[in-house]
Amino acid sequence: MTDDRTGYDVIVLGAGIAGLTAALSAVEHGLSVVLLEKTSAVGGSSVMSGGFFAFSGTDEQRAQGVGDSANAFLADLREVGAYRNDPALLRQYLDNQRDTYRWLKGHGARFPVIEISSGQSFARSHHTPIRTLISELADRFTAAGGTLLLEHRATELVRDEHGRVGAVIAETPLGPARFAARRGVVIASGGFSRSEELLSVFAPEQLAAIPYGGLGNTGDGFRMAWRLGAGMADMSAVCGTYGSHPDTGIEFHELLTAYYLGAIIVNNAGRRFVDESISYKSLGAACLAQPEGLGFQVFDAVVRARSHPGVPLNDIDMLEEIGHVYRAGTLEELADLAGIDPAGLVSTVERYNSAIAGGDPDDQGRSALVNGVGELVPVAEPPFYAYPAKTLMTTTYCGVTIDPYGRVLDVDGEVIPGLSAIGEVTGGFHGAAYMTGTSLGKGAVFGRIVAARLAAEDPAA
Ligand SMILES: Cc1cc2nc3c(=O)[nH]c(=O)nc-3n(C[C@H](O)[C@H](O)[C@H](O)COP(=O)(O)OP(=O)(O)OC[C@H]3O[C@@H](n4cnc5c(N)ncnc54)[C@H](O)[C@@H]3O)c2cc1C
């Protein structure tokens, strides 16, 4: 029935940051690796991402005088995750992040920009041009002897007579094939942001968000592991990210976080509805509940001047150039242009400015720009700007349970022999919400950990 392919040590499913890191590291450890990718290109959601990796204690932080530490990082991760994340996974990340940061720098990453972003109390988001990094990892993998097979969609995990996962059935351009591996199978197939079916089961309210993420991210790996009895974590925390123009397309990642620079967010009645300094995932949930699922980022010339051209999330210049930002000399004119109720906007801005001036408490309890850091600025200096934005279903950040070495655990917490999982398909790391940079970060960190473990394990055991 199937073409049989044997002789591999490891099969990796999915060529995003997690799969490429694991595959390349495994080859560097001397293993024979086949990397199966469902679509016709490598990259998945990783290549569409903002390219931010969360690390602490780096050369870039030191050079810019950022006094971050692993302890502060851990405290932020726990807080953002509402203490529902698995401390053992977080500790493993923190213990391995610096080696991974160096490994990435040695494999094509460079981090000229660091930013403070969602969930961070220090500038910890290290930005690298992500396309360059992804193609560098893929090139190095094949150059080192790894086998990369595009348009190979894994459909089934196969257990041997001892219950160990040692093979995969895949759909290939030449028909079904069976791949076998001595040391095991690593699922790195990403999340299910593109699966209407899984979203309707786990997060139906998110179906109103703009669908996004890698086109192959329909939860295949999650379902295959589920079929074998894998446990699940963080399934109730699925949430889109707030901040994308309603016309956002697959071609490029358009997302603005002007609210972390000082903008307010109002609905089309001109009313604020949330503390703008919280995680953009929580903002995503709040925005879905607004009329038309729409929230306008409203700001003035002072915030406009904080634009960071070329840096995703903060590039107001680019968004203005493509005509997605409204601009006017007065708030009333701005409201008319953008389709916001003028009287509502004017009174909201008055109340907001008065709270900053020390008059009344802020309507939404906002006291900082982002995550307790940064001084608020009034919306006062013309011209005024409005960026209409919705919630973008980029990622799911939940999935199969793993131990700190990336071994998949079943519903009873027992290891499923031979099966590993890394990256967005895994649950337990983020808990209730996500901190910027920790998904690319965890893909790379746990990718390397899994590769090192598989290399050290006795395949006969
Ligand atoms: C717009 C956007 C911006 C983001 N910005 C950031 C950021 O700046 N920092 C950050 O940390 N995170 C960010 N994220 C999240 C982050 O990019 C992802 O969570 C992360 O890249 C997931 O990596 P991964 O390797 O697990 O999955 P992916 O990169 O999605 O790769 C999974 C791969 O598996 C393939 N696949 C799926 N099913 C199968 C199958 N059955 N067989 C074989 N292959 C299969 C897919 O086609 C895909 O290529 C962003 C996400 C988006 C969409």
Cα 388 to Cα 23, 41, 256, 325, 383: the distances in Å are: 41, 32, 10, 8, 17
Q: Which residue has its alpha carbon closest to ligand 1 atom 38?
A: 189
The finding on whether 153 has its CB within 6 A of some atom of ligand 1 is yes
Q: How far apart are CA 362 and CA 414, in angstroms?
A: 49
| CA 44 to centroid of ligand 1, rounded, Å | 5
Give 208 or 317, the one with higher predicted confidence.
317
- Report the b/e string of 90-111 with b at 16+ CB within 10 A: bebbbebbeebbebbeebbbeb
Segment 233-240 mean pLDDT: 95
Q: Does residue 350 share a domain with residue 272?
A: yes
Give the 3-state secondary structure of residue 122: coil
The finding on whether 16 has its CB within 6 A of some atom of ligand 1 is yes
Q: Does residue 448 share a domain with residue 367?
A: no
| CA 423 to centroid of ligand 1, rounded, Å | 8
Q: Which residue has its alpha carbon closest to ligand 1 atom 22?
A: 424
Can you give the pLDDT at residue 311? 83
Pairing verdict, β 147-149 and 33-36: parallel
Q: What is the CATH number of the domain that holds 254?
A: 3.90.700.10
Give strand pairing partners of 172.
175
Compute the 3-state secondary structure of the chain and give helix, strand, coil in percent, each to the nearest 5: 35, 25, 45
- Domain range for 271: 241-393
Q: Does residue 418 share a domain with residue 388?
A: no
In a domain, 45, yes or no: yes
| CA 335 to centroid of ligand 1, rounded, Å | 37
CB-hemisphere CA count at 13 Å for 75?
Answer: 8
Confidence label for 250 from pLDDT (cuts 50, 70 and 90): confident
Q: Which atom of ligand 1 is nearest to the CA of 397?
A: 19
Q: Which atom of ligand 1 is nearest to the CA of 253?
A: 1
Q: Does residue 313 share a domain with residue 365?
A: yes
Q: Does residue 248 share a domain with residue 199?
A: no
Boundary residue ending a domain (393, 408, 423)? 393
Q: Does residue 179 share a domain with residue 324?
A: no
Q: Which of 189, 220, 315 has most ligand 1 atoms within 8 Å of CB, for mutation?
A: 189
Can you give the pLDDT at residue 3? 82
Cα 451 to Cα 45, 129, 186, 433: the distances in Å are: 21, 24, 9, 27
Segment 51-71 mean pLDDT: 96
Q: Read off the DSSP letter of residue 240.
A: P
In a domain, 220, yes or no: yes
Give the 3-state secondary structure of residue 105: helix
Confidence label for 429 from pLDDT (cuts 50, 70 and 90): very high
Can you give the pLDDT at residue 118? 82
Q: What is the CATH number of the domain that holds 119?
A: 3.50.50.60
Q: Does residue 406 share a domain with residue 375?
A: no
Q: Does residue 143 share a domain with residue 115?
A: yes
Q: Which of 118, 395, 402 has most ligand 1 atoms within 8 Å of CB, for mutation?
A: 395
pLDDT tens for 322-343 read 999 999 999 999 999 999 999 9
Cα 198 to Cα 37, 59, 70, 171, 191: the distances in Å are: 21, 41, 35, 21, 10
Q: Read off the DSSP letter of residue 5.
A: E
pLDDT tens for 73-118 read 999 999 999 999 999 999 999 999 999 999 999 999 999 999 998 8
| CA 99 to centroid of ligand 1, rounded, Å | 22
Q: Which of 115, 440, 446 has most ligand 1 atoms within 8 Å of CB, for mutation?
A: 440
Q: Is the pTM of this model over 0.85?
A: yes
Q: Which atom of ligand 1 is nearest to the CA of 54?
A: 11
The finding on whether 445 has its CB within 6 A of some atom of ligand 1 is no
Q: What beta strand segments (E) does 272-383 contain?
A: 295-299, 326-328
Confidence label for 2 from pLDDT (cuts 50, 70 and 90): low
Q: How far apart are CA 341 and CA 348, in angstroms?
A: 11
Q: Does residue 284 share a domain with residue 144?
A: no
Q: Read off the DSSP letter of residue 352.
A: H
Picking from 375, 327, 371, 381, the residue whose alpha carbon sits closest to that of residue 349 is 381
**Which sign does the torsion angle of CA 16, 17, 19, 21 carry?**
positive
The finding on whether 217 has its CB within 6 A of some atom of ligand 1 is yes
Share of residues in the chain with pLDDT > 70 (%): 99
Segment 358-372 mean pLDDT: 91
pLDDT tens for 392-405 read 999 999 999 999 99
Picking from 380, 441, 376, 428, the residue whose alpha carbon sits closest to that of residue 402 is 428
> What domain count does the chain have?
2
The finding on whether 49 has its CB within 6 A of some atom of ligand 1 is yes
- Asked if 448 contacts 96 with a C-beta cutoff of 8 angstroms, the reply is yes
pLDDT tens for 26-43 read 999 999 999 999 999 999
| CA 442 to centroid of ligand 1, rounded, Å | 11
In a domain, 225, yes or no: yes
Boundary residue ending a domain (393, 416, 433)? 393
The finding on whether 438 has its CB within 6 A of some atom of ligand 1 is yes
Q: How far apart are CA 266 and CA 178, in angstroms?
A: 54
Q: How far apart are CA 11 and CA 240, in angstroms?
A: 31
Q: Does residue 433 share a domain with residue 327?
A: no
Can you give the pLDDT at residue 189? 98
Q: Exposure of 25 by Cβ count < 10 A (0-12 exposed, 13-18 middle, 19+ buried)? A: buried
| CA 263 to centroid of ligand 1, rounded, Å | 29
The finding on whether 188 has its CB within 6 A of some atom of ligand 1 is yes
Boundary residue ending a domain (372, 393, 414)? 393
In a domain, 219, yes or no: yes
In a domain, 274, yes or no: yes
Q: Does residue 276 share a domain with residue 206?
A: no
256-97-422 Cα angle (round to 5): 80
The finding on whether 46 has its CB within 6 A of some atom of ligand 1 is yes
Q: Does residue 284 share a domain with residue 184?
A: no
In a domain, 461, yes or no: no
